[in-house]
Amino acid sequence: MSNKHLSLNKLPIGKRGTVSTLLFQGNCRRRMLDLGLVKGTKVEAVQKSPSGDPIAYAIRGAIIALRNEDASKIIIEY
């Protein structure tokens, strides 16, 4: 695994990455934290929706769909 940083929405389906930075502020940031998205959390891209947005991710045992506009604010190491 190379240490490439990219935004979560660019993570290829079926691949796993580790959260390094959240670019959210305020309420959105809190919501992400509540879902268990903190630094070091492993995230796997599971499935694209028919239009490619949102994308479903496996986060701490739960499948969560994030819109690309939100996923792009999550920087991961992959």
Decide: is 23 part of the binding site for another protein (CB under 8 A): no
Distance between CA atoms of residues 24 and 49, nearest Å: 23
Residue 50 binding another protein, by CB under 8 A: yes
Size of the site for another protein (CB under 8 A): 35
Asked if 77 interacts with another protein (CB under 8 A), we say no
Q: How far apart are the first and last CA of the chain?
A: 7
Min CB(70)–another protein separation in Å: 6
Alpha carbon of 64 to those of 1, 41, 58: distances in Å?
24, 14, 6
Least Cβ distance, residue 1 to another protein (angstroms): 19
